[in-house]
């Protein structure tokens, strides 16, 4: 059966019917699909092998054939998984970054989170009690439930505010710490997501934007997602932190395809932002490139440079070029290479020939983290000074 004929059989959008209405769907005598639960479809096609979505086990034949024919189209990108062509060509959609991290609740995964959980718990405490900034860290062993609560505590950025700043698909004021703790107790894993639209300040309603992105992600993945989110405005660009439960409504472990993590989430986020804000102009793209040239952190220009570096990481600056020959991107690549040289991540071994350090991309990530920490420290000091000033003012007025 071809993909075209399969689409024709289901043209009536019968699969979109609520799970509570029918237990089975019949497009014709050759195909029958049954709903075992609200987020799983399974059945047989033409009396042959079974097909299922969202479960584990061996990959069904029909699904594999469909993936081969349209492997990435369902995630909104072209057939080139590297994304190189899409990255080089001008895309009028709004830009957005979605970072997805997977965390196991057992073994090494829990141990790796220990130091981070302790740090973020102290960070939350200092926002209510500045004297706690230098409090000694507790040495007792933390359970995975405590680590989950600590992470939610961190995302809330305020002690008791964790009961009000979180929201989910339908509700405001969710108790994020309690929910994260419950998930850590019952599930094997969870996903942490950072959702950041480039022009998030103009979105005005981050919760509505986040809910729309997650609703479309559910539709693309074919499964219901349980998640909580908190918006952060402590950086130059507002962004959203999400915790996605690692279990589906039917009790199975949630598995998100790598291709969707790499391309699907960001594609959806870009589409929604574009619908809300309108398309970007070539002038917007040039300004974005100018910002990336001088950024002390990873950029898409760095990925383009890395793709063109030979094994010895030595390259002539003049040879750097955008894949599609776009002059603005080509200019930005050359300027970025020189900026990386000024940062000490590359040296000029010959005239106009740069040799990059082996760890130059890792060093960029470290720079970004260092700058983020400094900004947070400065923000904390500013808040502490303001609190002190307010206290003195109240004291003087009370005399």
In this structure, how many other beta carbons lie within 10 angstroms of the beta carbon of residue 78?
A: 12
Domain boundary among 251, 277, 303: 277
The answer to whether 34 touches 23, Cβ cutoff 8 Å, is: yes
Q: What is the Cα–Cα distance from 306 to 7, expressed in whole angstroms? A: 40
In this structure, how many other beta carbons lie within 10 angstroms of the beta carbon of residue 263?
A: 20
Q: What is the pLDDT of residue 157?
A: 52
- 293 inside domain: yes
Note whether 215 and 336 are same-domain residues: no
Domain boundary among 277, 293, 321: 277
Note whether 195 and 321 are same-domain residues: no
Q: What is the pLDDT of residue 306?
A: 96
In this structure, how many other beta carbons lie within 10 angstroms of the beta carbon of residue 126?
A: 17
Note whether 143 and 207 are same-domain residues: yes
**3-class DSSP state for residue 171?**
coil
Please list, in sequence order, all residues whose beta carbon lies within 8 angstroms of the beta carbon of residue 188, skipping any fewer than 6 positions away: 104, 105, 106, 246, 247, 253
Note whether 114 and 44 are same-domain residues: no
Threshold 0.75, pTM exceeds:
no
Q: 33-39: long-range contacts (C-beta < 8 A, 24 or more apart)?
A: 36/250, 37/249, 37/250, 38/224, 38/249, 38/250, 39/222, 39/223, 39/224, 39/248, 39/249, 39/250
Note whether 303 and 244 are same-domain residues: no
Please list, in sequence order, all residues whose beta carbon lies within 8 angstroms of the beta carbon of residue 69, skipping any fewer than 6 positions away: 3
- 139 inside domain: yes
Buried b (16+ CB within 10 A) or exposed e, 85-99: eebbeeeebbbbbbe
Please list, in sequence order, all residues whose beta carbon lies within 8 angstroms of the beta carbon of residue 304, skipping any fewer than 6 positions away: 84, 87, 88, 322, 323, 329, 333
- 247 inside domain: yes
Alpha carbon of residue 41 to chain centroid: 27
- 256 inside domain: yes
**3-class DSSP state for residue 225?**
coil
Note whether 263 and 199 are same-domain residues: yes
- 390 inside domain: no
Give pLDDT tens digits along the chain (399 positions): 454 444 454 455 444 444 444 444 444 444 444 444 444 333 433 334 443 444 444 444 434 443 443 344 444 444 444 444 444 456 789 999 999 988 887 754 444 333 333 333 333 333 344 444 333 344 344 556 656 665 665 555 544 444 457 899 999 988 887 888 788 888 888 898 999 998 888 888 999 999 999 999 999 999 999 998 888 886 778 889 888 999 998 889 999 999 999 899 999 999 999 999 999 988 888 998 999 999 999 999 999 999 999 999 999 999 999 988 889 999 999 999 999 999 999 999 999 999 999 999 999 999 888 777 777 777 777 777 877 887 777 767 765
Note whether 171 and 99 are same-domain residues: yes
Note whether 301 and 333 are same-domain residues: yes
Note whether 338 and 263 are same-domain residues: no
The whole domain housing 338 covers 283-356
Please list, in sequence order, all residues whose beta carbon lies within 8 angstroms of the beta carbon of residue 386, skipping any fewer than 6 positions away: none
């Amino acid at each position: 059966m071809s993909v075209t004929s399969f689409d024709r059989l289901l043209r009536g959008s019968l699969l979109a019917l609520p799970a509570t209405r029918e237990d089975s769907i019949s497009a014709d005598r050759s195909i029958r699909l049954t709903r075992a639960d609200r987020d799983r479809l399974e059945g047989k096609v033409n009396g042959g092998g079974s097909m299922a979505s969202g479960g584990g086990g061996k990959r069904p034949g029909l699904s594999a054939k469909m993936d081969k024919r349209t492997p990435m189209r369902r995630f909104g990108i072209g057939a080139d998984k590297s994304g190189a062509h899409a990255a080089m060509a001008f895309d009028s959609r709004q830009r957005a970054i979605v970072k997805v991290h997977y965390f196991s609740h057992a073994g090494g995964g829990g141990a790796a989170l220990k130091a981070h959980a302790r740090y973020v718990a102290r960070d939350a405490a200092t926002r209510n009690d500045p004297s706690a900034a230098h409090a000694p860290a507790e040495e007792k062993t933390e359970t995975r439930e405590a680590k989950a609560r600590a992470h939610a505590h961190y995302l809330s950025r305020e002690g008791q505010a964790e009961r009000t700043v979180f929201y989910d698909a339908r509700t405001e004021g969710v108790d994020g710490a309690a929910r994260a703790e419950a998930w850590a107790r019952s599930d094997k894993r969870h996903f942490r997501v950072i959702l950041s639209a480039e022009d998030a300040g103009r979105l005005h309603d981050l919760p509505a934007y986040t809910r729309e992105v997650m609703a479309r992600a559910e539709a693309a993945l074919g499964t219901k997602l349980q998640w909580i989110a908190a918006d952060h405005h402590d950086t130059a660009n507002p962004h959203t932190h999400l915790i996605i439960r690692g279990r589906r409504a039917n009790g199975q472990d949630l598995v998100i395809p790598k291709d969707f993590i790499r391309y699907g989430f960001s594609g959806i986020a870009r589409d929604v932002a574009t619908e809300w804000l309108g398309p970007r102009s070539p002038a917007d793209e040039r300004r974005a490139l100018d910002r990336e040239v001088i950024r002390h952190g990873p950029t898409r220009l760095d990925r383009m440079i890395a793709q063109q570096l030979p094994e010895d990481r030595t390259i002539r600056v003049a040879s750097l070029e955008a894949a599609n020959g776009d002059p603005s991107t080509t200019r930005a690549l050359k300027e970025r290479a020189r900026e990386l040289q000024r940062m000490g991540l590359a040296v000029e071994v010959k005239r106009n020939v740069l040799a990059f350090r082996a760890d130059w991309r890792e060093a960029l990530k470290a720079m970004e983290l260092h700058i983020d920490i400094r900004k947070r420290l400065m923000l904390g000091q500013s808040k502490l000074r303001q609190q002190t000033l307010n206290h003195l003012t109240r004291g003087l007025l009370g005399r």
